[in-house]
C-alpha cells in the first residue's frame, strides 16, 4: 500500500518540492499547477480586430498575450504567456470549472489592450477545451502603425 501511495503522490510531491525554488520568480507561466492524472487542457485562441493575422500584433505593439485562469472560488490557478503572433496557447489544468482573463502586453510590460474576460469553461480528463477571444480595435490601447490599422478597419468586427 505504501508503494502505491508513493507512486500516486510522487509527481505531485516533486512539483511541490520545486515551489520554494521558484517563489518570487517572474518566469513565463509564473504559477505552477500540480499535474495529476485527472487533467485536460484549455487552448485559448485569439484574434485582433476579427482577423487571425499575427502581423497585427506589430501594428498594436503587442509582444505577448497574458492569460490568467481562476477557479470558481476566484483563486488564480495559472498565469501563462505566449508570443502574440502565435495566436494561441495551451495550458494543462486539473478537471474543473474555470474562468479567465486575457490581455495583450508590450515588450516593456505595459498593457496594449484592455483585459477581456473569457467565457467560463470546463476541463475534462484527457480532453482539450477551446476558448476563442477577439481583441476588437476598441479594446486596443495603442496603435503603432496608423496605415496598417486603417487598412483593417473594413473587416474590424467586434466579437460577442
Q: What is the pLDDT of residue 145?
A: 57
Q: What is the pLDDT of residue 109?
A: 95
pLDDT at residue 106 is higher than 80: yes
The CATH architecture one would assign to domain 27-155 is Sandwich (2.60)
**Rounded CA separation 41/126 (Å):** 8
Domains of the chain, by residue range, sit at: 27-155
- The closest alpha carbon to 79, from 65, 64, 92, 69, belongs to 69
pLDDT (tens digit, 9 = 90+) per residue, 2-27? 444 434 444 444 344 334 433 333 44
Average pLDDT of the chain is 79
Amino acid at each position: 500500500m505504501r508503494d502505491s501511495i508513493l507512486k500516486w503522490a510522487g509527481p505531485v510531491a516533486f512539483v511541490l518540492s520545486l515551489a520554494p525554488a521558484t517563489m518570487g520568480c517572474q518566469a513565463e507561466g509564473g504559477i505552477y499547477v500540480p499535474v495529476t492524472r485527472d487533467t485536460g487542457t484549455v487552448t485559448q485562441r485569439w484574434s485582433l480586430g476579427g482577423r487571425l493575422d499575427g502581423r497585427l500584433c506589430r501594428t498594436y505593439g503587442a509582444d505577448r498575450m497574458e492569460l490568467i485562469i481562476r477557479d470558481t472560488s476566484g483563486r488564480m490557478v495559472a498565469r501563462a504567456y505566449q508570443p502574440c503572433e502565435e495566436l494561441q496557447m495551451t495550458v494543462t489544468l486539473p478537471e474543473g470549472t474555470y474562468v479567465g482573463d486575457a490581455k495583450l502586453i508590450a515588450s516593456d510590460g505595459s498593457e496594449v489592450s484592455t483585459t477581456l474576460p473569457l467565457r467560463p469553461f470546463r476541463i475534462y480528463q484527457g480532453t482539450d477545451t477551446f476558448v476563442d477571444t477577439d481583441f476588437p480595435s476598441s479594446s486596443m490601447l495603442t496603435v503603432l502603425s496608423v496605415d496598417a490599422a486603417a487598412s483593417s478597419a473594413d473587416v474590424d468586427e467586434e466579437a460577442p
